[in-house]
Amino acid sequence: CGECNSHHHDLPPIPTVSPASPHRWARIPTGAPQPDRTLTPAPTRYPARMTPSRTLRSGAILAALAVALGAFAAHGLKPRLDAAMLANFETGARYQMYAALALLALGTQPGQRRAPGFLLAGAAVFSGSLYVLALSGVKVLGAVTPLGGALMIAGFVLAALDVKKEQ
Asked whether 67 and 16 are in contact (CB, 8 A), the reply is no
Cα separations in angstroms, 51 against 2, 45, 60: 65, 9, 14
Q: What confidence tens digit (pLDDT) does each residue in 51-63 have?
A: 999 999 999 999 9
| Residue 136: partners with Cβ closer than 8 Å, 6 or more residues away | none
Q: What confidence tens digit (pLDDT) does each residue in 118-145 have?
A: 999 999 999 999 999 999 999 998 899 9
Q: What confidence tens digit (pLDDT) does each residue in 41-95 have?
A: 655 554 457 899 999 999 999 999 999 999 999 999 988 999 999 999 999 999 9
Asked whether 64 and 122 are in contact (CB, 8 A), the reply is no
